[in-house]
Structure 1
Amino acid sequence: MTADDPFDYDAALVACARGDQGALQQLYQREGRYLLGVALRIVRQHQHAEDVLHDAFISIWQRAGTFDPSRGAGRGWIYSVVRHAALNRVRSSAREVPVDEEASAAIQDDAALRAHAAAADPFELRADLGRLQGCLASLEPERRNCILYAYVDGCSHSEIAERTRTPLGTVKTWIQRGMRMLRECMA
């Protein structure tokens, strides 16, 4: 697999829904290390991140039939499943896990570089990132910050409420409305 090797995530998910274990294996081989980085960034401990990744792939296998390509890309759906599994793991544990920030930063940097190198069309990626940046800039600062805390830092809604000193319900509303505005802007 190279960066120039096209891969149809949507078709792989459809194949998983039909019971094709090879398709799930291809998804794991192609994205497993990056998804582990996503989980590690959120749960902050390697063993827990591996558990999250395992649980997420079981969920991907079981829920592949619910994937709807009209609502988003297959690759994004897979990352969303892992992210939600990691956040659920953090929420369910009542204790904080110490962070080795240097190792975490190295993994995040490596994953970001690999993801960038794997982009099919660098021009299109830059164009999309430019549009996203413009759309984010159009949001009110409070909404933008809540979205960035949630999707970049992996914070839960309650953590965001704590950081911003804003009621939890307000944070949830800002994120929901902000994401709706971003989807409309990016469409």
Structure 2
Amino acid sequence: MRVSLGDREAFSLLYDATSSKLFGVCLRVLNNRAEAEDALQDVFVKVWNKADRYKAGGYSPMTWLITLARNTAIDRLRARKTGNVDIDDVHDLSDGSPTPEAEAIASSERKRLNDCFEELESDKSEAVRRAYLDGDSYKDLAARYDVPLNTMRTWLRRSLMTLKDCLSR
């Protein structure tokens, strides 16, 4: 739960508690220490980015993590087996940059998000940006705004709910 809120300390504790087990899963699938280390890093990047999507559904968090590690290692194994593709067989060599349409959509979404941030009080808007864009901890934010830690958590939670409501309109 705390990892899904961007709590770095909780993430560090999760890493310490699970990394050796997850490394073993990756190593068993890949049978290559360097690739297993890379896969483990990918797993924890996914955990950091997707922790809010975890739903128990009868499974323990460790089961979710092991499944994530196993699938990541299998994906790397499959990528290893596909080999190289001859350049003459490739028809589309796009540069990967966004299309004009994608840029227009992204610009519109940025404007919507900024408009929603304007609906928040300035200190709460800044606190949300610092927490979720700059990575400031709740403790640092509470000290910065001279409020109790639980008050800061409430500010951020309510602000996120306001942003969600605004964006869903």
TM-score range, shorter chain: 0.3 to 0.5
- The structure with the larger Rg is 2
Give TM-score, length-normalised by structure 1. Answer: 0.42
